[in-house]
Amino acid sequence: MSPLPGRRVLVVTHYFPPEIGAPQARLSETARAWAADGLDVTVLTGMPNHPTGVIPPEYHGAWLRTERVDGYRVVRTRLYATPNEGVVRKTLSHLSFMVSSVLLGGWRTGPCDVVVVSSPTFFPLGSAWLLARLRRARLVVEVRDLWPAIFEQLGVITDPRVLGLLERLELAAYRAADAVVTVTEGFRDDIVRRGIAADKVHVVRNGVDLDRFHPDTVAPVGLRARLGAPGGETLVLYIGAHGISHGLTAVANAAALLDDARLDDTRLDDTRLDDARLDDARIRFAFVGEGADKRRLAEHVRGLGLTNTVLHDGVPREQVPGVIAAADLCVVPLRDVPMFDTFIPSKMFELLAAGRPVIGAVRGEAARILTAAGQVVVPPEDPAALAAAVAHLAADPERRARMGRAGRAHVERHFDRDELARYYRRLLFDRATADRATAGRADSDGRTPGVPDPTVPAQRVATPAPDHDPAGQQTALTPGSEALA
């Protein structure tokens, strides 16, 4: 489809494929859907290097690179490449992209009508704001993490003066934006509570490419053996970023409780494990991915002396569906901190779409979605509870199959990324959609009347009208917003 006039979108982001991760997947698949829907999309990003800090050979020495991918344009600028370790070096990397995106990429990207900035750090917000003003374009700030609040709760930053400064910068960015788009209701509530106008803040949930992630995908030959399950073992998979947010050492501790060599260990005294049929479980754990916390996880696994656990390198994005297909059971963990009540790990949608049964060691919004999708939820960072859930499901393949079917049906109904991208596009551009929202303002809980709630099981929800938001959120930017009406 040829681009429509007046529908030019510039997306500014530090992270983008071929890098691997949830932000990269969300943005690339959204850009592809927007381009297919007639928008003229340009992505301004850096040379790929995350999380290893290694720039691929084909980008070596380049200051500026322009590519055409899936119907949209990608403009890449030089930056300081560094591994995803160390606050100072990562900050320098983000600062370098903030400068190069304006000085190098600004003149290459051309005119636009809307600038969408999406990054889990503040620095690209400055370059996006400047580019939006220079282009006389509207600015949309996409919030995927509540920084700096999460830094404080994870203990990454403890100086109250630094935290106060970062929060002032955060709120200034929200106020400067014409619209703020978040990925969870909890994020929206937090931003509104801190003084940002409610009609300026909107929710577009993370979703999944239902064609890429499908129950019919077949795992590559020999992959289960490489992941530690060459025979009839039950393979439990964690796939994704190995970061400080994920509580992966607690998953390793659960693996220790189920290690064949330890089944007579006194650590199995917890009553939750009493009837778990551990003697015939033959359970194996595999961690696939990279990240700042992987080294610590590897040391922890070695210290435990685990015989049932494999740590595997990260894989390219196109190989992820095959890895998921190799698993019998998947885990989605988070740390046990209050802020994570509002977080929804996007990996869980891919696992559900692939028809894999999921155990979520989560709480809050993510727990409600998984429960509605027919999955199992245990308290975060509770190894005994996780081990008990794994053992019970390992002994019940019929239940695992039912969970897989229920999860796939739930994401088909609520989390189709193409549908969410079309809703996002209407949010950015369609006056008609904005006008319709006048009569359907969101209820006090932030949801639009008549639209299904993805945290409620499907059998309890009526089918939405075609024009409603499939994510179960507000249907458009309402008139009176500074945003995009």
CATH of the domain at 278: 3.40.50.2000
Query: Has residue 479 been placed in a domain?
Result: no
Q: Are residues 36 and 182 in the same domain?
A: yes
**Token pair for residue 293?**
């916390």
Residues 197 and 237 in one domain: no
Residue 218 placed within a domain = no
Is the overall model pTM greater than 0.85, yes or no? no
193 with 294, same domain: the answer is no
Same domain, 83 and 151: yes
Residue 327 φ/ψ region, left for φ over 0, alpha for ψ in the -120 to 50 degree band, beta for the rest: beta
Structural domain contains residue 208: no
Q: How many residues does the chain have?
A: 485
CA distances from 273 to 11, 381, 391 (A): 49, 16, 8
Predicted confidence at residue 90, as pLDDT, reads 83
Distance separating alpha carbons of residues 202 and 483, to the nearest angstrom: 11
**Rounded CA Rg of the chain:** 22
| pLDDT for the residue numbered 442 | 39
Domain boundary, last residue among 399, 414, 429: 414
Q: Does residue 35 sit in the same domain as residue 183?
A: yes
Q: Is residue 236 part of a domain?
A: yes
What is the total count of domains within the chain?
A: 2
Residues 140 and 289 in one domain: no
Q: Tell me, yes or no, whether 227 and 195 share the same domain.
A: no
Per the structure, the complete domain to which residue 318 belongs is given by 223-414
- Residue 253 counted as domain residue: yes
Q: In terms of domains, do 256 and 402 share one?
A: yes
β-strand pairing of 72-77 with 64-69: antiparallel
* Residue 472 within a domain: no
Name residue 115's beta-bridge partners.
10, 139
Q: Are residues 198 and 130 in the same domain?
A: yes
Q: Which of 421, 420, 415 is nearest to 41 (CA)?
A: 421
For residues 266 and 121, what is the distance between their CA atoms, to the nearest angstrom? 45
Residues 476 and 437 sit within 8 Å (Cβ to Cβ): yes
Put residue 229 in one of left, alpha, beta given phi > 0 → left and psi -120 to 50 → alpha.
Answer: beta
84 in any annotated domain = yes
Judgement on whether residues 241 and 298 belong to the same structural domain of the protein? yes
* Residue 234, pLDDT score: 97
Q: Of 203, 231, 252, which closes a domain?
A: 203
**pLDDT score, position 212:** 94
Q: What single DSSP character describes residue 114?
A: E
Q: Indicate the residue among 140, 174, 203 that finishes a domain.
A: 203
408 shares a domain with 270:
yes
Low-confidence ranges of the chain (pLDDT < 70): 1-5, 119-121, 148-150, 261-281, 430-485
Q: Which residues pair with 74 in a beta bridge?
A: 43, 67
| Separation of alpha carbons 117 and 253, rounded Å | 38
Residue 456 domain flag: no
Residues 261 and 409 reside in one and the same domain: yes
Distance CA 309, CA 24 (A): 28
CB 260 within 8 A of CB 352: no
